[in-house]
Amino acid sequence: MGQRIHIESRFAQTDGKLITDSGATVDLGPADSAFAPYELLLGGLSYCLFSTFVSIAEKMQLAYKGVDMQVTGVKRDEKVATLKTCTIEAKAKGVQDQEKFKKAFEISTRYCSVFQTISKVADMEWNIEFA
């Protein structure tokens, strides 16, 4: 049996809150300080991809100082507007071996479960810029 994942959702009139079993929270809703559904999805993608990358980078003994990601989704125009495209622009900082970094990132896209899930409905693209 696979890993169990659980989250509690509490909603008021127009906003809500997600609560993890450990007590972490995320505000939901139309306010500027809250997350909308697709923002959560793209945020989940970026963190899954990064945490997968960290694991691979450690195995490859890859040195870097940080990675910033800009994740952009474009929805279809249909009534049920699923993602059409998803683009990840990564900015890598303090990288000593750029080719090794690119290889680790590419492997991460193959092993990140959220990337693979979204890729079933959207065209996925990614690019790395080195700072």
pTM metric for this prediction = 0.90
Do 25 and 41 lie in one domain? The reply is: no
Q: Which two tokens stand for residue 75?
A: 């929805």
Work out the percent of the chain whose per-residue pLDDT is above 90.
89
Do 27 and 60 lie in one domain? The reply is: no
Is residue 1 over pLDDT 90?
A: no
Do 18 and 78 lie in one domain? The reply is: no
Residue 101 belongs to domain spanning: 37-130
Do 20 and 53 lie in one domain? The reply is: no
Q: Is 13 helix (H, G, I), strand (E, B) or coil?
A: coil
Q: Which two tokens stand for residue 43?
A: 């945020």
Do 56 and 100 lie in one domain? The reply is: yes
Do 29 and 47 lie in one domain? The reply is: no
pLDDT in tens, 3-36: 898 999 999 998 999 999 999 999 999 988 899 9
Do 57 and 10 lie in one domain? The reply is: no
Do 49 and 113 lie in one domain? The reply is: yes
Rg (CA), the chain: 17
pLDDT in tens, 57-114: 999 999 999 999 999 999 999 999 999 999 999 999 999 999 999 999 999 999 999 9
Please classify residue 11 by burial: count the beta carbons closer than 10 Å to its beta carbon, then call 0-12 exposed, 13-18 middle and 19+ buried.
Answer: exposed
